Amino acid sequence: MPTNTLKRSMYNIIVDQLSEGEVLLFNSSSCAFGVMDKKAQMLYDKIDEITDISTLDEEDQKNLNVLAQNGFFVPHDTDEFKLLNIIGNVKRHSTSGLNITLAPTTDCNMACPYCYEKNTKRRMGPEIIAAVVNFIKSYCENNRPTTVTLIWYGGEPLLELDTIQTVSEQVVQLCQEKNIDYNSSIVTNGVLLTRETAIILKEKCKITSAQITVDGLESVHNRRRILRSGADSFNSIINNIENIKDVIEVTIRVNVDKKNIEETGKLIHYFSHEKGWRDDVIFYFAPVDGNINSCVLKENTCYSRPEFGKIHAELMRKSYESGNVKIISKLYPRKSELFCGAITLNTVVVDPDGYLYTCWNDVGLPEKKIGDVSTGMVMGKNYIDWLSIDYPDKCKLCNLLPICASGCPYHRLRNGNTAECIYQTLSFKENLKITYEEYLTSSPAND
């Protein structure tokens, strides 16, 4: 007798009840998303009562196989949390890739009021540049990674274009010699990202994408993204994006707080309709983090994560209805046993002095360093704290854990490891509903 060995996954989430009685079902571990009709729902609801699967009719057996193959049903003896934890620990201690964020300077041509960085105008000198390259070479020789990823950050990294080019060209050559996959991107305010510079980044530095911040239409943006020269930054940035979007992939980040929330709908219209940026430029919205940007928090202008979760869902809907379909796939919930690379062995941030950190938020704070490019990472208190942080007990039974991973470890290390439910866990259902709507729209059966 074929015995039933399956149970419902603890990571199943009912997304919505449809008008015809179907159910939208999502699994946060497999990230599978589908529609259950009424018959499949009956099987789903009574799976624990079924002992002999040979008694199922052909349709039920087909449904059972589909639900099992997509992770909605799992073996009875599987401890899903332990499995998630094991996979996370494997990734945490893997050295098969190197992810390195480089801040060639802490100087910036802007003075944004919510910026958490101190403009100390430090820059990488020739000795540090050489030590950075040697650090990467040493890592590759000792660990034989299959991938190397460089992210350029600041300050404003394009103030040091020569450094970007010098380091990139040497690391690209190293990766070619050792048959290592190479990826690179840049986070920039966009003011200096002309077409000529974008071509240099792509062709000589192998940088394929850029994240640029736009915080509103001209007047609002210029009050928040302030050039030290006093000049207009909005039009420079918008013109640059228009001129480079066919050279490298551009993602626009909009930092949102209570001071510019009214601009979000205007920006969606401006990007999608006036500029026609739908498939060739991606834009998304993120909250100004009051836990980092304390100067803004004191004015009570930051949204809490629950508040922004609701706002984020509304903004995704507005973006989709404006024709920006690409944002939906970009923000589709993805499994992440680890919230970010800061708690892994293979991710590091380098500041202009060659100090190593785990997290971007600590750059420029030598007391938070975990080593330097000459000596490498040192297993002192700072590094041990990052590498040993665990899931809070509250999260271990949560069905959102695989896509949330307990939230930002930077905050959890400062709040006694209390769960930091990310705003996306409050907006992901809207994303999935839109995904389903887009599926119905684009399905050949609806043509």
Task: Dump pLDDT digits (tens) for 333-347.
Answer: 999 888 899 999 999
> What stretches of 247-368 adopt beta strand conformation (E)?
249-256, 281-287, 347-350, 355-357
How far is it, in rounded angstroms, from Cα 138 to Cα 160?
Answer: 24
| Residue 105 DSSP class | B
115-174 pLDDT, tens per residue? Answer: 665 657 889 999 999 999 999 999 999 999 999 999 999 889 999 999 999 999 999 999
Query: What is the reported pLDDT for 330?
Result: 80
Q: DSSP string covering 37-104, please?
A: -HHHHHHHHHGGG--BGGGS-HHHHHHHHHHHHTTSEEETT--HHHHHHHHHHHHHT--SEEEEEE-S
Given this model, what pLDDT does residue 1 score?
A: 45
Rounded mean pLDDT for each run of 10 residues along the chain, 447 residues in total = 82 94 96 96 93 89 96 96 94 93 90 64 93 97 96 94 98 97 97 97 98 94 84 93 97 94 95 90 86 54 90 92 83 88 94 95 90 94 94 94 93 90 88 92 65
Nearest CA to 121 among 131, 111, 134, 133? Answer: 111
Taking residue 45's Cβ as centre, other Cβ atoms within 10 Å add up to 11
Residue in 303, 156, 323 with CA at minimum distance from that of residue 227? 156
Q: What does pTM read for this prediction?
A: 0.89
pLDDT of residue 447: 47
Contact of 386 with 342, CB cutoff 8 Å: yes
Q: What confidence score (pLDDT) does residue 441 get?
A: 86
